[in-house]
Amino acid sequence: MNALVAAPIVLPIAGAALSIVIGRSRAAQRLLGVAVLVAVAGCAIALLIEVDSNGPAVVQAGDWPAPIGITLMVDRLAAIMLVLGSLMLLGVLVYAIGQGRVDGEEHRHVGFHPVYLVLSAGVAGAFLTGDLFNLFVSFEVMLTASYVLLTLGGRRSQVRAGMTYVVISLVASALFLTTIGFVYASTGTVNLAQLSTAMSELPDGLRHALALLLLGVFGIKAAVFPLFFWLPDSYPTAPTAVTAVFAGLLTKVGVYAIIRTQTLLVDPADRPAGLLLTIAGLTMAVGVLGAIAQSDMKRILSFHIVSQIGYMIFGLALFTVAGLAGAILYIVHHIVVKTTLFLIGGLVEHRAGSSDLDRVGGLLRTAPVLAITFLFTALSLAGIPPLSGFAAKFALVDAGIASSAWIVVGVSIVVSVLTLFSMTKIWAGVFGGEIDRDRDEPRPMPALMLGPTIALAGTAIAIALAAGPLYDLSERTAEDLLDADRYRLEVLGS
Amino acid sequence: MTVILAAAAAFVFACGTYLLLQRELTRIVIGLALLAHGANLFILLGAGRRGNPTFIGDDPSADYLDPLPQAFVLTAIVITFGVTTFLLGLSYRSWVLTRDDEVQDDLEDRRVAKRTTPTEVEVDLAEVGAALDAEHQREAEHHNEAGPDEWETP
Amino acid sequence: MRRSTILDVSTRMVTVTTLVLSIYLLAAGHNQPGGGFIGGLVGGAAIALAYVGGGLERVRAFTRLQPWTILGAGLVVASLSAIVPLVMGRAVLEQGFVSLDLPVLGKVKATSALVFDTGVYALVLGMVLMAFEALGEERTPGSSTGSTPGRGEAS
């Protein structure tokens, strides 16, 4: 048990180290990377089964007891995120290897595999950690790795976009650090379990200020409404596989942190429900409107990330079991579908030489398999029944109606329609239309690239088929989240 | 002491923010480093009021200054060190590519802006398109000479 | 402009002293101020001095290993200190120590945390070396008029 909890962090770090040492052989690096991520995914699934049946698992690093040592805590939410995260990382790694074989200097770069593994260690750390400072450290590990991945290759557009991304992230990190300073100075602890009681004993103003600071810090990372501007600019320039991981996973780590801190640290009496609802509505609307204005497939999809984050915040803002369960189901669906869509975007770019809607066309005829995969995932993103997006959105809307949040429910439905509109725009621009004869002969798609994409799309369909059991799991998770006493009991033992 | 430290943190924050808003990349890098230092100073302030001292044993805890904030600051410094090195590498790369120490404009952004405000006609769309093509060309040229310089682990 | 002899000789002397100091700090780490990262930074300062005195050639003269090999080896050692306790069935990163009676040094407490610190030390040194490799110039500083980098001439 002990080893199982620590493995998702320790294994990738050790793997990264080995990967650097054996840097001369790319084949060995690839093998090592895949092996490590398979092992991590295995551990994550074992953890989820264990946690779901036997309750949360807590590990104290170095065997120091809870408030003093570093706590690693796996509850259902962490386990679900970990399973999804490791599966996505694995799928994208296989895709990246496939792409590295045919083109893309970046994916063959000696640093790619070590840094990718460090990224996965950071992601796992953020999900597993039980204290605020280590959440910061995990975020930094993850972000530093992401800076390197984003700029690997050093192309001009990458350097420009990378600079924006790094600067924004660092400002957010400085703010996070300051927030930790505030929290520690006022409560004398950074252990999440202890904080949950210590925060509620603070004076009113201070409590609200801390809750808002935490929301702002993670809001930048999660790209919610006023703080999303950096995302559509920086994500599309990265190498495809990297963008897919960023799009599917990194912002969701921010959402995870928002959910965790707002449910655990903020007193039930003063949860900022109204504020979060407003943010959720605006994030959805602004994101989708931004997407409509774009004419590049990757940029459209990047704006859609923002829009989708709004749905997750919407579920959280209700602070009911049904709302949170909907949000969790939505995250599960979104991570899979978004990653798949970006991988498809990469395949389109690989095949047609561009992802600009004006430059490509007619892929329905030259690449029918890709077109069908896109159709399923895009319709799922828009929330067409019976696909996975429908189940998730239905759960959210249902919860919203139960809490009578009429306006946001209305916004979410309109946004779904607009999402469908911009998906049909991609469809018409990329897959429909005439084949451009001036272009070079379309290049074949390697199995290693197409395989993971179809596998992930299959996962999205599996989510739709298993929506019932998954919703039950999400509901159990939501009940855990709203019960802060349980968390305290597990970590502190009293 | 607390007031001095608070004032110092505020001053460092102010300088950092000012530098961050400049257009030169080197100033931005220094500004970010200053911001992080400001946050570190700020955390040290938190050491004044006592949390639960980390030591286990019989010693009267009143004799210790709380060591945890110092551990935080040390960790944060480690991270800042790594990221600053990376940023320096990145801005150097930017200088190599453009011979210019300034933040680059986003051509794609300008094109979108161009499309939404048709009244402004100083920049012809075709011109921007040509600039974009030249950009792609340059990228293709630079593609092959990417060295193993910018990769490091935190 | 030629390199100053005083600068050359003095940096050579100070570099060695600084390196010794960095190793002392590494070893003193557990119970006294110091540790892997601080030792590594002081070691990095020694490398920086060598760069000031003799340029990139002298930085390269430190070791024939590639910077990333040093960095990777450091990370391997550090992660081993997390894995070994796990394999032994203990908590991750758990430490142990033995008290040794060594000649000359007297009673010394050897902790397993030193292994982790050594890894961190190598990691920081590797990273500093890498930074100089990436950002440093081939020519000794001040030996040419412009500071044109080797790469990127094509643009």
Residue A302: exposure state from Cβ atoms within 10 A (0-12, 13-18, ≥19): buried
**Over the Cα atoms of chain C, what is R_g?**
19
pLDDT at A242: 86
C122-153: b (≥16 Cβ within 10 Å) or e: bbbbbbbbbbbbbbbbeebbeeeeeeeeeebe
Which of B6, B11, B10, B16 is closest to B36 using CA atoms?
Answer: B16
Q: How far out from the chain centre does Cα C11 lie?
A: 17
For residue A2 the two structure tokens come to 């002990």
Q: Which domain holds residue A95?
A: 2-492
Chains that touch B (3 or more CB pairs under 8 A): A, C
Nearest CA in chain A to B20: A167
pLDDT at A104: 59
Distance CA(C68)–CA(B138), nearest Å, equals 29
Q: B residues 25-44 near A, CB within 8 Å?
A: 25, 28, 32, 35-36, 38-40, 42-43
For residue C152 the two structure tokens come to 């990127």
Contacts of A182 in chain B (CB under 8 A): 46
Distance CA(A279)–CA(A271), nearest Å, equals 14
- A2/chain C closest Cα distance in angstroms: 7
In the chain, the amino acid numbered A128 is: L
What three-state secondary structure class fits A57?
strand
Kindly give the pairing relationship between strand A57-61 and strand A70-74.
antiparallel
Structural domain contains residue C129: yes
Contacts of A110 in chain C (CB under 8 A): 68
Sole residue written with tokens 């970046």 = A106
Residue A417: exposure state from Cβ atoms within 10 A (0-12, 13-18, ≥19): exposed
Cβ atoms A408, A281 nearer than 8 A = yes
Distance CA(A104)–CA(A100), nearest Å, equals 6
Contacts of C86 in chain A (CB under 8 A): 2-3, 6-7, 10
DSSP for residue A443? P
pLDDT at C151: 36
List the single range of A293-302, B117-126, C15-24, C103-112 with lowest mean pLDDT. B117-126
Q: Identify whether A452 is preceded by a cis peptide bond (ω within 30 of 0).
A: no
Cβ atoms A287, A305 nearer than 8 A = yes
Q: Where are the beta strands (DSSP E) in C14-96?
A: none
Which of A104, A112, A111, A99 is closest to A155 using CA atoms?
Answer: A104
Helices A251-264, A192-200: crossing angle, 10 deg rounding: 50
Host H or E run for residue A298: helix A297-318
Residues A224/A226/A227/A233 CA torsion (nearest 10 deg): 100
pLDDT at A90: 93
Residues 6+ apart with CB under 8 A from A190: A131, A132, A133, A180, A183, A184, B68
* Regions of chain A where pLDDT drops below 70: 1, 67, 103-107, 435-442, 494
CB contact under 8 A, A62 and C91: yes
Nearest CA in chain B to C153: B96
Query: Is the pLDDT assigned to residue C143 strictly greater than 50?
Result: no
CB contact under 8 A, C135 and B92: yes
Cβ atoms B106, A160 nearer than 8 A = yes
Main-chain phi, psi angles of A296, to 5 degrees: -120, 135
Q: Could you give the ipTM of this predicted complex?
A: 0.81
CB contact under 8 A, B74 and C135: no
Residues 6+ apart with CB under 8 A from B106: A160, A161, A233
The count of C-alpha atoms lying within 13 angstroms of the C-alpha of A389, restricted to the half-sphere facing its C-beta, is 23
pLDDT at B141: 46
pLDDT at C155: 29
For residue A227 the two structure tokens come to 């703080």
Nearest neighbour of B39 by CB, restricted to A160, A178, A188: A178
Nearest CA in chain C to B86: C131
Q: How many domains does chain A have?
A: 1
pLDDT at A403: 86
Which of A367, A55, A141 is closest to B153 using CA atoms?
Answer: A141
Q: What angle do CA A435, B131, B103 make, to 5 degrees?
A: 125
Cβ atoms A298, A345 nearer than 8 A = yes
Contact A205/C at CB under 8 A = no
Distance CA(C111)–CA(C96), nearest Å, equals 6
Q: How far apart are the first and last CA of chain B?
A: 33
The count of C-alpha atoms lying within 13 angstroms of the C-alpha of A43, restricted to the half-sphere facing its C-beta, is 25
Distance CA(B135)–CA(B127), nearest Å, equals 12
Q: B residues 54-73 near A, CB within 8 Å?
A: 54, 56, 66, 68-69, 72
C45-100: per-residue pLDDT in tens? 999 888 888 788 888 888 778 888 888 889 899 888 888 887 777 777 777 777 77
Query: Is the pLDDT assigned to residue B106 strictly greater than 80?
Result: no
Per-residue pLDDT band at B117 (split at 50, 70, 90): low
Neighbours of B131 (CB within 10 A): 14
Neighbours of B40 (CB within 10 A): 24
B9-58: per-residue pLDDT in tens? 999 999 999 999 888 888 999 999 999 999 998 888 776 655 555 555 55
Host H or E run for residue A71: strand A70-74
Contact A137/C at CB under 8 A = no
Host H or E run for residue C142: none
Main-chain phi, psi angles of A486, to 5 degrees: -60, -45
Per-residue pLDDT band at C141 (split at 50, 70, 90): very low
Q: How far apart are the first and last CA of chain C?
A: 28
Distance CA(A26)–CA(A22), nearest Å, equals 8
What three-state secondary structure class fits A209?
helix
Q: Which domain holds residue C29?
A: 5-135
Residues 6+ apart with CB under 8 A from B67: B53, B54, B55
Residue A295: exposure state from Cβ atoms within 10 A (0-12, 13-18, ≥19): middle
Q: How many domains does chain C have?
A: 1
Q: How many residues does chain B have?
A: 154
A222-237: per-residue pLDDT in tens? 888 888 888 887 888 7
Chains that touch A (3 or more CB pairs under 8 A): B, C
Contact B138/A at CB under 8 A = yes
